[in-house]
């Protein structure tokens, strides 16, 4: 049975042109190709053996989101056509070699921890969603301080007064967490990070927790319901209401990232962060 390969791209002429080149190359070698627009990624994920995303980390996150929300266990491969990009592994000159490796089975998988965020409202679950990088509590339309009570495993940790709070995986440590001053954590480390955004108390520092931690956030809301938002991987936002409780824990499933090169995490960090240059 021919390999079924899903292809999806950032809606940009260059990314779409590279996707078209890859689709033609794969079809010429007997693969079944499913091309998915942004709003078709979940449906495509349920039809393929592997999903390849062309673009930057945002495109890969969107593809990963489609996979996890659809409930399938399809591995995702990222082709880097963006700017910085910590998740998209394959560079443009490596594309055909990478596609050949996928067809030949010369690949391996990395499993990445997922977070499950649950919003409880008046005794019921208002929303549940998974995230690969992070779940962020922040103001919606106005850039103002928010306050949150943070508990871990039933124990009160602190009261945060900041522009927001990031709950990140090790995978997401090089995303919003990094720009907010949080630590870079190797993706093999089983950890979750709590990083305040511009804290109004300078002693509120990032905290590294075991991935088994149950985190409960209770925002203090003094504005309209849409004023404070829980954002999942920067892809989906859920407005919070007064009295809402956000519970974050390790998800029961993981995301599988497909690897085709021997580039290590430290090589990637040196390249992306210009260490030693």
Rounded distance between C-alpha atoms, residue 111 and residue 255, angstroms: 6
pLDDT at 190: 95
Find out whether 217 and 148 touch, Cβ atoms under 8 Å.
yes
- Beta strands at 228-232 and 164-169: parallel, antiparallel or unpaired: unpaired
pLDDT at 143: 64
Rounded distance between C-alpha atoms, residue 16 and residue 7, angstroms: 10
Q: Enumerate residues 6+ apart whose C-beta is below 8 A from 204.
A: 158, 160, 161, 162, 196
Q: Which residues are part of the catalytic machinery?
A: 57
Domains in the chain, CATH or no CATH each? 4-107+260-273 (3.40.50.10330), 114-253 (2.60.200.30)
Per residue in 175-216, pLDDT (tens digit) is 999 999 999 999 999 999 999 999 988 788 999 999 999 999
pLDDT at 97: 95
What DSSP letter does each residue of 179-201 carry, written as one string?
Answer: HTTPPP--TTS-EEEEEEES-SS
What are the beta bridge partners of residue 169?
192
> What's the pTM value of the predicted model, to 2 decimals?
0.92
Find out whether 150 and 158 touch, Cβ atoms under 8 Å.
yes
pLDDT at 222: 62
Question: Which run of H or E residues covers position 28?
Answer: helix 13-28
Q: Which residues of the chain have pLDDT under 70?
A: 140-143, 222-226, 277
Find out whether 222 and 139 touch, Cβ atoms under 8 Å.
no
pLDDT at 142: 61
């Amino acid at each position: 049975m021919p390999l079924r390969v899903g292809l999806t791209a950032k809606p940009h002429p260059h990314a779409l042109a590279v996707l078209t080149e890859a689709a033609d190359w794969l079809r010429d070698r007997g693969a079944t190709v499913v091309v998915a627009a942004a709003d078709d990624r979940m449906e495509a994920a349920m039809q393929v053996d592997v999903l390849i995303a062309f673009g930057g980390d945002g495109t890969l996150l969107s593809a990963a989101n489609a996979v996890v929300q659809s409930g399938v266990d399809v591995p995702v491969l990222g082709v880097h056509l963006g700017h910085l990009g910590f998740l998209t592994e394959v560079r443009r000159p490596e594309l055909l070699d990478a596609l050949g490796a996928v067809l030949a089975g010369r690949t391996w998988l990395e499993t990445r921890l997922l977070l499950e965020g649950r919003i409880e409202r008046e005794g019921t679950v208002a929303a549940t969603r998974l995230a690969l990088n992070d779940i962020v509590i922040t103001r919606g339309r106005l850039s103002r301080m928010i306050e949150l009570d943070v508990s871990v495993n039933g124990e009160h940790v602190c009261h945060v007064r900041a522009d927001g709070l990031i709950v990140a995986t090790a995978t997401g440590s090089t995303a919003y967490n990094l720009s907010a001053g949080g630590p870079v954590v190797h993706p093999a480390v089983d950890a979750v990070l709590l990083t305040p955004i511009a804290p109004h108390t300078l002693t509120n520092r990032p905290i590294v927790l075991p991935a088994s931690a149950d985190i409960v956030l209770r925002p203090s809301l003094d504005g309209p319901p849409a004023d404070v938002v829980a954002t999942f991987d920067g892809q989906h936002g859920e407005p919070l209401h007064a009295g809402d409780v956000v519970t974050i824990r390790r998800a029961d499933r993981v995301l599988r990232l497909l690897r085709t090169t021997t580039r290590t995490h430290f090589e990637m960090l040196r390249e992306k962060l210009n260490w030693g240059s």
